[in-house]
Amino acid sequence: MAGRDRGFTLIELVLSITVMGFVAVTLGLLIYQATRSFATLDAQKEIAQQGTLAIERLSRELRLIRCTESGNSCKPASTDITEMTSSEIRFVNTNLEGRGFRLDGSSLRFRDGSGALDPEYVLSDKISSLTFEYLKDDSTAAAATDEVWVINVNMVIASGAESFALKASVHPRSFR
């Protein structure tokens, strides 16, 4: 046996293939989980951004609700807030422009004007719920427009299995 070649035995070969298989499966599962996590976070990020933009625009417009002065106070009148329900609000802003927000199916619509034929624009198309809550200055429910001090907006935006809840409390600047 003078010219014996050096090589691998069958046992060494099978063992190394088995170890490489375990390493490949482990790496494959790691890559799969990372990809799945990225896709989930991407969907969450998208709905969070869309919801944040919608609630910021809504809050910005609500801060500009007009009020009617009476002595030292300034409270909204029925001509300032023309529609006040849990699903819709219409109002006149400080520039005397009609504005409004409502949920239409899964779309948050922004009304630009106070007339029935004025245009409506979609702010977000993934809204699963939207409610407006009108509060007095003592945090109890307001029954009439002249009692409104704060407007709470609760919104849930959803896409597939992902959902994102947002809430804003807005005190219009002109109310005093």
pTM: 0.74
pLDDT averaged per 10 residues, the chain (length 176): 71 93 94 86 85 93 89 83 92 91 92 82 91 93 91 92 90 86
Sign of the torsion angle spanned by Cα atoms 148, 166, 55, 119: negative
Give the pLDDT score at 37: 84
Compute the CA torsion angle 146, 149, 101, 164 (nearest 10 deg).
-150
Q: Are 141 and 134 in contact (CB under 8 A)?
A: yes
Which residue type sits at 132? F
Compute the CA torsion angle 150, 101, 85, 59 (nearest 10 deg).
-10
Q: Are 114 and 92 in contact (CB under 8 A)?
A: yes
Give the pLDDT score at 3: 58
- Extract the tokens encoding 168: 């804003």
